[in-house]
Structure 1
Amino acid sequence: MARKKILVFLGSPRKKGNSALLAQEAIAGAKAAGAQVESFYLHGMKIKPCTACDACRRKNQKDCILKDEMAPLYSKLRQAEAIVIATPVYWFTVSAQTKLFMDRWYAMGGDEGYPFKGKKFGIILTYADEDPFRSGAVNALRTFQDALGFVGAEIKGMVYGSAWKAGEIKKNKTLLKKARQLGKDLAASI
């Protein structure tokens, strides 16, 4: 039997930032449930912004024509059974790295339509202010709800909480457990 495939995309510029630490818990949970997990650190990747050229909408054009480190991710996104996106909230929404990555999904919606229909997603979000409204966390969550709803994906779970300094999230044992459970739940759902 083939192992369940889960992709994890980390949208923080800090490899040991709070959203990354929660993502590591989700990865551990998914692996414990028998999933094969591959993760990508978006900040370290050379992904260009969409140029709005619409070349991806030409007949028989499958993906974006830009040749960068997003190109190999298209096939991985199509093959994955579940996807986790972890991001801090920066200036009232998802990080620039996360938004850039999501913007480039547009290229996947050509002739065959978006390949996310029915895929399971897990969302991990950290923010500095304790108030999810004042911090922009609610805006970030809506970004995911709107985008994933548009492409027909299913959000299986969202784990989000407040932490200011890098690593501070480790003190929140409840949130760490929720992140690990998110990984287990995603693996169980596919």
Structure 2
Amino acid sequence: MVNTLLVLAGSPRREGNSATLAKAVVRGAQAAGTEVVLRFLDDYISGFLRDCRTCRGADGHCTIADRYGALFREDFLPADGVVFCSPIYWYGLSAQTKAFFDRSFCYYAASNPDSVDVLNGMAGKRLGLVLASEETYPGAALGIMAQMQEFARYTRSDLVDVIRGIGNSGGEVRDDPADPLAQAERFGGEIFQRPYSDYRLDTPRARRVWGDGDHAG
């Protein structure tokens, strides 16, 4: 069975740092034999969440006339994994990326006749977060990481990794000495294989995280 990966780019800049990192994720996924698609959110989202009580159609479906519904139903829900790639704006996600999360409410709310199927499709994914910023300050990404952790918890999904690249001018992330492009490419190839640990009190635990050996130290 071939895994399907959706990579969502939250910047309108096709050659910017977020897009550069997103394309690296795609390369890694393709090399691993994963079925992967890259979508730029501004191709699909033209507006923000509205008051569903006033704009929802008589059939219970969203009436905002853009391509978000197609992206959400045809690409996001069937995907086994999703990697969100966003620049850091004001220490948060880009407006396009935030709108992707906000707009999903219209589809999983109980007033939507397809809400049960939508909830099932939203749950249990493997997730990744790839960020680009000009600040090297580590705390610049903390708010976004917290939001993604809560989204993963809420949807019973696994936030497998967070990658961050530093750069300002278009594509400058290539010059980051931490080599986030290599990290992103490797992550694209490994998102479905990497071990993931998120323990609860009653979670069965193995003695080791990596491998089966028993090494003292």
TM-score normalised by the chain length of structure 1: 0.86
- How far the C-alpha of 1:52 sits from its partner, in A, is 2.6
Give the equivalent residue in structure 2 for 1:144. 148
Give the equivalent residue in structure 2 for 1:177. 182
Q: Distance in 1 between matches of 2:184 and 2:39?
A: 18
- How far the C-alpha of 1:4 sits from its partner, in A, is 2.0
Q: Distance in 2 between matches of 1:73 and 1:44?
A: 10
Which has a greater percent of strand?
Answer: 1
Q: Distance in 2 between matches of 1:86 and 1:54?
A: 31
Give the equivalent residue in structure 2 for 1:83. 82
Moved over 6 A (4+): 55-58
Which has a greater percent of helix?
Answer: 1
Deviations 1:17-55 (A, max 9, x none): 111111111100000110111111112334321113158
Give the equivalent residue in structure 2 for 1:48. 47
Asked if 2 retains the 8 angstrom alpha-carbon contact of 1:5 and 1:35, the reply is yes
Asked if 1 retains the 8 angstrom alpha-carbon contact of 2:44 and 2:71, the reply is no
- How far the C-alpha of 1:148 sits from its partner, in A, is 2.6
Alignment of 1:1-190 (within 5 A): 1=1, 3-54=2-53, 61=60, 64-75=62-73, 76-110=75-109, 111-112=115-116, 114=119, 115-133=121-139, 136-172=140-176, 174-188=179-193
SS of equivalent residue, structure 2 residue 170: coil
Q: Distance in 1 between matches of 2:193 and 2:70?
A: 27
Give the equivalent residue in structure 1 for 2:205. none
Q: Distance in 1 between matches of 2:150 and 2:62?
A: 22
Asked if 2 retains the 8 angstrom alpha-carbon contact of 1:121 and 1:157, the reply is yes
SS of equivalent residue, structure 1 residue 94: coil
Deviations 1:74-126 (A, max 9, x none): 22211111111100001110001111111112123234162322111111001
Q: Distance in 2 between matches of 1:171 and 1:155?
A: 27
Query: Number of aligned pairs?
Result: 185
SS of equivalent residue, structure 1 residue 165: coil
Percent identity of paired positions between Structure 1 and Structure 2? 28
Amino acid at match of 1:131: Y
Q: Distance in 1 between matches of 2:103 and 2:25?
A: 24
Unaligned stretches of 5+ residues in structure 2: 110-114, 195-217
> Residues 175 and 81 (structure 1 numbering): CA distance in 2 closer, same or farther, change over 3 Å?
same
Asked if 2 retains the 8 angstrom alpha-carbon contact of 1:83 and 1:122, the reply is yes
Unaligned stretches of 5+ residues in structure 1: none
